[in-house]
Amino acid sequence: MAVHPNKCVFLDRDGVLNEDCPDYLYNLKELVIPEGVAEALRMLKEAGYLLIVITNQAGIAKGLYTADSVYAIHEAMQQVSDYALDDLYFSPYHPAYSGNSLSRKPGSLLIEKAMAKYDVDPDQSWMIGDRDRDMEAGKNVGLKTVHIVPDAEESTGDYAAVNLLEAAKLILQQ
């Protein structure tokens, strides 16, 4: 029996799938999904990619919200994207509040768990994020990386894009 590993796009949440809030996003009323996000997710899905969210949610460690808030926002994103997202992994830790955790990016434990669960081939897979720590976590496990940055900003990714739609198009051109 031949093994057919999956290709996957790992996605940071805040600043990629939704507009980043100055504090933490946990109230559904504050959820803003930028234009092009749903389209980008559909394009990647149609191209055969698994779509897995990997997000640090330190507000849980700080006592600002619970895991239920994270799931509620994930469900709202699923609704606008025709349930394109295959899974959600989040790290509820913050070094100053709960100690260090390898699940918190730039640690790559959550990506490694997802790769094992879904039999992901790192050579065909990507990490899209808006922070250096997202790029570092992806590179730690051999993923190609796309850094979402405004045009003038320095990027630590293998590629740079101004938003998720541009990142998706870039991945599909490779």
**Catalytic residue positions, numbered:** 12, 14
Write the DSSP string, the chain. Answer: ----PBPEEEE-SBTTTBPPPSS----GGG----TTHHHHHHHHHHTT-EEEEEEE-HHHHTTS--HHHHHHHHHHHHHHTTS---EEEEE---HHHH---TTSTTS-HHHHHHHHHHTB-GGG-EEEESSHHHHHHHHHTT-EEEEE--TTS---SSEEESSHHHHHHHHHH-
- Per the DSSP assignment, residues forming a β-bridge with 18 are 14
Tell me phi and psi for residue 45, to 5 degrees.
-60, -45
Q: Which of 101, 89, 6 is nearest to 61 (CA)?
A: 101
